[in-house]
Structures are given as C-alpha cells and as structure tokens.
Amino acid sequence: MKIAFVGKGGSGKTTLSSLFIRHLVANEVPVLAVDADINQHLGAALGLDEAEVAALPAMGAHLPLIKEYLRGTNPRIPSAETMIKTTPPGEGSRLLRVLEDNPVYEACARTVRLDDGDIRLMATGPFSESDLGVACYHSKVGAVELCLNHLVDGADEYVVVDMTAGSDSFASGMFTRFDMTFLVAEPTRKGVSVYRQYKDYARDFGVELRVVGNKVQGMEDVDFLREEIGDDLLVTVGHSNWVRSMEKGRPARFELLEAENRMALQSLQNAADDSYRHRDWERYTRQMVHFHLKNAESWGNAKTGADLAAQVDPGFILGEGLGAAQPA
C-alpha cells in the first residue's frame, strides 16, 4: 500500500506521518518510509537526533545510481542519462519491492529502530545553498517519483510518504502514485484551502483522498471541519501529551500514546486497507505514462536530446504478478 500524507506547512502532516508509521510497526506491518519534503523533519519525528538526520543519504544525490539500476536491460532506455523523473518501467526494467535488498536501498535507505520494530527510511535530501540558481526542489523530489514508478508493493506492506507542503505535489504526477492520500487539515479557513485544491485534482485522476482534522480542541472545531469537508473527513485528532514529549525529544514508549489517538490511527489503517480493493494497476500505469508524455513534450525531450515518448512500452502493465527484479 502506498500512502501519502499532505497538508499545508505547519498542519502536522509530518507528526501524523510518524505516528502512523509507529502504529503500523506496532501492528507488525513492514514499512518503507520516505521523506519527500525538502524540509527534512520525518527522521526527527521518528526519533533520530540531529546528527543522525544529517547523516541520512540524499536520494537526489544518488539519482545516477537509481536511474542506472532501474533501467536494467530495458531496450527502450539506451542510457541512464535519457531517464527523467517520470520515466515508466517496461520489459527489462528492474523493479523495487518493499522487503528486498537492492543497490538503491543500500545507497539511499537507512534502518530506523522504533519501539516495536525497524523500518527503512529514505529521504529526498534538503535544498542546499549550492542548489540556488541551478536547481529547483522538484529535481530533488524527482528521485522519489522515479522510485515510486518502479515500486511494486502488496496489501500486507506499506510505503508511507511525507510529501511536500501545500499544493506543490501537483507540480508532477506524483500525487497519483498512491492508494490513499491523507490530507492533514487544521480547523481554519487556511487549513481547508489546501483540501479544496487537492480535491479538484484528486477527482480528475481518481485519487482516493481522506482528511485528518488535526489540532482539534472541541466540538466547534469538529463541526467546522464537517461543514467544510463533508464525507471526506475521516477522523479528528486533538491535543496529545505523548506528542508534546516527542517534540521535546523525550518520547514515552509508543504503547503509552493516548487511547483515542491510537483509535484514530487505526481508522487511518482501516481506510488504507479498504482502498486496496480499488487498486487498478492498469489505470496506475496509464496515468504514469500520461505524465511522462506530458513532461517529455514540455521539457524532457529538450533537456535530454531524445524522444522520450519512445521509452513507453505499450504492452507493459506494472503489477504485483510480475517476476522478481533482475539481479544487480
């Protein structure tokens, strides 16, 4: 299951991402976590100290390795240099799986120990001073999108992605790469404005979207969110002493998280699990190709000097039934 957490800056999406990851691990679910926000906070929310966060490898810095590995023996991709962030897999491409070992994970993922088990954590990497004037942060996030395009996951394993803030996720097709998107919204007009933007895009592409009301202080806040959001409001989350301690760097064991918040996290997992029955790999592949062709025409062909439409394998459909990835 591929799950995205989105919301405006300061809404609490990273905190809720980290709580959901801890909840899944407590339920013995394998998790690959991805920090796709250039403001790298997910590692800290999962308990890493500043030095450990700084030591996380940046996916963007390993983009040549990622491209070379994923293209495999795909005859439609003669070189890694012609791959862009939306390049779709085809016959001969290497695919990623949540539980395997591969050169991409070896270079870009690190194990994080939580109270109830371990996860793999990958991070797109921060936007540094050296990037100013020569790159945009979308180029950093491109490594995440390329990996998601080549990732095959099942119902009993989770990929949880903490996305960029606001509506910037729509700068590419990455927002269509998920089985479920949880939008974190505060009970304010600004808090629900991103929801309205996201809802329009989600409707056009069949993206499943549910809203988590955060920082709710009473029924007045709940009623406001219900009035503004309607049936898309899945659950609300209020004050948490556990989270306050976590933000101070002194979290208690996760089993001591307040019961009402544990129940809210279970509601998120139930909704995500339910979305699996709507999974349509053919549509997923079609949307992947749609955004690739769009990017190829608007900038990709000019940047690479190649006809990137030729990378599309018309007979290929990504899916769980495909064989194991090729050896490195």
pLDDT at 24: 98
Using the predicted structure, report yes or no on whether residue 140 has a pLDDT greater than 70: no
Q: How confident is the model at residue 172 (pLDDT cuts 50, 70, 90)?
A: low
pLDDT at 110: 97
Using the predicted structure, report yes or no on whether residue 159 has a pLDDT greater than 80: yes
How large a percentage of the chain has pLDDT more than 70? Answer: 91
Q: Three-class SS of residue 1?
A: coil
| Contact assessment for residue 213 and residue 187, using Cβ atoms and an 8 Å cutoff | yes
| pLDDT tens figures, 47-62 | 999 999 999 999 999 9
Q: Where are the domains of the chain?
A: 2-311
CB atoms within 10 A of CB 217: 10
DSSP label of 297: I
Using the predicted structure, report yes or no on whether residue 303 has a pLDDT greater than 80: yes
At residue 119, φ and ψ (nearest 5 deg) are -130, 165
Average pLDDT rounded to a whole number, residues 97-108:
97
What per-residue string of b and e applies to 52-74 under the rule 16 or more CB within 10 Å gives b?
A: ebeebebbbebbebbbbbbbbeb
| pLDDT tens figures, 224-272 | 999 999 999 999 998 899 999 998 888 899 999 999 999 999 999 999 9
Average pLDDT rounded to a whole number, residues 13-34:
97
pLDDT at 134: 37
Q: What is the dihedral of CA 194, 195, 196, 202, to 10 degrees?
A: 110
Indicate the CATH number for domain 2-311: 3.40.50.300
Using the predicted structure, report yes or no on whether residue 139 has a pLDDT greater than 70: no
Distance CA(125)–CA(143), nearest Å, equals 10
Q: How confident is the model at residue 167 (pLDDT cuts 50, 70, 90)?
A: low
Average pLDDT rounded to a whole number, residues 99-114:
97
Using the predicted structure, report yes or no on whether residue 137 has a pLDDT greater than 50: no
pLDDT at 117: 96
Using the predicted structure, report yes or no on whether residue 136 has a pLDDT greater than 50: no
Residue type, 298: S
Using the predicted structure, report yes or no on whether residue 197 has a pLDDT greater than 90: no
